[in-house]
């Protein structure tokens, strides 16, 4: 039971750690998206970050972060003119705020839903949600919320061409703007639009000039539009000189605005060009590396095929040479046997000489050695010479090596035992391993025989064989 409790506690701690890491990452993505919007107005990148933050949150569990994420996503889609998405996420955020009973989020999301409907000219729905935002702000005694609600209602009535109601809402928003020290630009801007539609040109001129005085300096396009409105108003009352000045000023601001836009577009195009150029260079480098790798692999493959083909041809030549030597040895042995039989019948005839047969056997041994060097077992045998532990090899290690040696040297082994009948198989294998360049330590590891025993085999091989054969086989012996 104690172990079970410990396991459950560990799982709970791990789960809580994972959840806290997800929540922290979601919060970080949300903050980064806010900074992108405030500083650079990069709506698309901010939207991708907000969607990433949303994936890390549990949408079935209402939290303030979830509601704010929905609200900001709705704003992003609103700026990108994706109205359906803006309305969808605004409603999601509103439902989340209602589930949490968070008045501040209620107010923010009522405004967001109303703005989304305002964008698609659904004036009844926009009016309903702006009024809900106004009621919530009044209930919270939030002067800033009341100011924004009156301002939104004024803009809505203005778009509906209900100018009297728009002016009434603008006046109400102005009274709250004084209380919260808000900027007065929107108030004068809406009033100037109302007076323009009502053709009250004198009041329009006064409101427009006050809007120009309060507009942010960096808003060149807004200044150009206000001076256009001022031009229309001045011309309508017959003040043509002031109208010309307003028209020139509007043109100057519009020219500055488009120059600024052109510079920004050129900057964006330059950055885009540099990025595309970098991507192209990167692709080119990758292609070059891939081509180089393919060429190297092709060269290696061709080299391997060439070496393999050459080795195969060499192996075939050596095998053919072994067959020829086998036939020559057979003929020479028959010749010697016939000569010996004739010498027994004829008194005084000399016995046959076996030197030629020895020479053929030695040639056969040399060809077999060249053939064995083509096998991978030769390299393994060669590496044993440099082992420092000098322990006997296990059967799975030594038997494949011995089998390979016997397989290649089967004919030379048989010929040695036919020539020197007193030789044992162990003595012949010792001689062949020495002929391949193995020292006594290597042969001892392979055959599981002590070195004194190997020295005895050497001396017995010398006594039982011919001196020429002994010197030829022991030429690689290491003393």
Write down the pLDDT at residue 179: 54
What was the pLDDT predicted at 353?
65
Give residue 254's pLDDT: 86
Cα separation of 164 and 195, whole Å? 10
- 27-69: pLDDT as tens digits: 888 888 878 777 767 777 888 888 888 788 877 778 888 888 8
357: exposed, middle or buried (Cβ count in 10 Å: 0-12, 13-18, 19+)? buried
pLDDT of residue 225: 87
Nearest alpha carbon to residue 156 among 168, 139, 174:
168
Could you tell me the end-to-end alpha-carbon distance of the chain, in angstroms, rounded to an integer?
Answer: 73
**Whether the Cβ atoms of residue 84 and residue 53 lie closer than 8 Å to each other:** no
What pLDDT, on a 0 to 100 scale, did the predictor assign at position 13? 44
Q: pLDDT tens, 314-327?
A: 989 988 998 998 89
218 pLDDT above the threshold of 60: yes
Give me the number of domains the chain comprises. Answer: 1
Q: What is the pLDDT of residues 403-431, one digit of tens each?
A: 998 898 998 888 888 888 898 988 999 99
Do the domain assignments include residue 296? no
Considering the domain boundaries, does residue 329 fall inside one? no
Q: What is the mean pLDDT of residues 207-221?
A: 84
pLDDT at 350: 46
**Mean pLDDT confidence for 248-273:** 82
Question: CA 337 from chain center: how many Å?
Answer: 79
Residue 9 has pLDDT above 70, yes or no: no
| Domain range enclosing 457 | 355-473
Q: What is the pLDDT of residues 151-183, one digit of tens each?
A: 888 888 877 878 777 777 777 777 766 555 445
Closest CA to 478 of 444, 449, 428: 444
Whether 368 is in a domain gets the answer: yes
Q: What is the pLDDT of residue 117?
A: 81
Q: Decide if 245 is inside a domain.
A: no
Domain membership of residue 380 (yes or no) is: yes
DSSP single-letter state for residue 59 = T
Pick 303 or 266 by higher pLDDT.
303
More confident residue, 149 or 18: 149
CA–CA dist 36, 30 (Å, integer): 10
The predicted model gives 350-365 an average pLDDT of 79
Interval 71-92: pLDDT, tens: 888 888 877 778 788 888 888 8
> Which pLDDT band holds residue 298 (cuts at 50, 70, 90)?
very high
Is residue 218 assigned to a domain? no
Query: Which pTM does this prediction carry?
Result: 0.46
- Whether 460 is covered by a domain: the verdict is yes
Q: Is 432 among the domain residues? A: yes
Q: For residue range 226-258, what is the model confidence (pLDDT) as tens digits?
A: 888 889 888 888 888 888 888 888 888 888 888
């Amino acid at each position: 039971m104690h172990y079970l409790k410990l396991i459950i506690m560990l799982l709970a701690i791990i789960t809580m750690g994972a959840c806290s890491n997800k929540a922290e990452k979601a919060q970080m993505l949300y903050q980064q998206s806010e900074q992108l919007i405030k500083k650079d107005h990069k709506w698309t990148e901010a939207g991708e970050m907000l969607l990433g933050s949303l994936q890390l949150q549990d949408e079935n569990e209402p939290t303030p972060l979830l509601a704010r994420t929905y609200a900001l996503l709705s704003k992003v889609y609103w700026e990108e003119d994706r109205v359906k998405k803006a309305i969808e996420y605004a409603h999601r955020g509103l439902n989340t705020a209602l589930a949490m009973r968070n008045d501040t989020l209620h107010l923010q999301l009522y405004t967001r839903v109303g703005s989304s409907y305002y964008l698609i000219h659904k004036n009844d729905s926009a009016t309903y949600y702006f009024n809900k935002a106004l009621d919530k702000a009044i209930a919270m005694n939030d002067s800033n919320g009341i100011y924004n609600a009156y301002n939104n209602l004024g803009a809505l009535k203005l778009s509906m061409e209900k100018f009297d109601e728009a002016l009434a809402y603008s006046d109400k928003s102005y009274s709250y703007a004084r209380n919260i020290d808000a900027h007065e630009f929107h108030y004068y801007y809406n009033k100037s639009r109302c007076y323009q539609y009502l053709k009250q040109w004198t009041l329009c001129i006064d409101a427009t000039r006050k809007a120009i005085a309060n507009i942010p300096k960096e808003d060149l396009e807004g200044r150009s539009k206000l001076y256009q409105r001022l031009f229309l108003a001045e011309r309508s009352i017959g003040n043509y000189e002031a109208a010309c000045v307003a028209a020139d000023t509007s043109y100057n601001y519009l020219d500055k605005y488009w120059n600024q836009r052109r510079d920004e577009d050129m900057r964006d195009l330059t950055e885009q060009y540099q990025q595309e150029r970098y991507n192209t260079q990167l692709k080119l480098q990758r292609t070059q590396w891939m081509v180089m790798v393919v060429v190297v692999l092709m060269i290696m493959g061709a080299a391997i095929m060439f070496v393999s083909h050459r080795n195969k041809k060499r192996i075939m030549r050596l095998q053919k040479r072994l067959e020829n030597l086998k036939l020559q040895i057979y003929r020479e042995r028959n010749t010697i046997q016939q000569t010996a039989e004739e010498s027994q019948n004829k008194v005084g005839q000399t016995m046959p000489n076996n030197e030629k047969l020895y020479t053929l056997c030695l040639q056969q041994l040399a060809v077999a050695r060249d053939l064995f060097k083509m096998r991978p077992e030769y390299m393994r045998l060669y590496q044993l010479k440099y082992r420092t532990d000098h322990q006997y090899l296990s059967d799975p290690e030594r038997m494949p090596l011995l089998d390979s040696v016997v397989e290649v040297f089967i004919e030379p082994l048989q010929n040695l035992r036919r020539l020197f009948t007193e030789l044992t198989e162990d003595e012949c294998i010792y001689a062949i391993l020495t002929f391949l360049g193995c020292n006594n330590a290597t042969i001892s590891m392979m055959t599981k025989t002590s070195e004194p025993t190997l020295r005895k085999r050497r001396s017995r091989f010398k006594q039982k064989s011919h001196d020429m054969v002994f010197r030829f086989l022991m030429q690689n012996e290491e003393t």
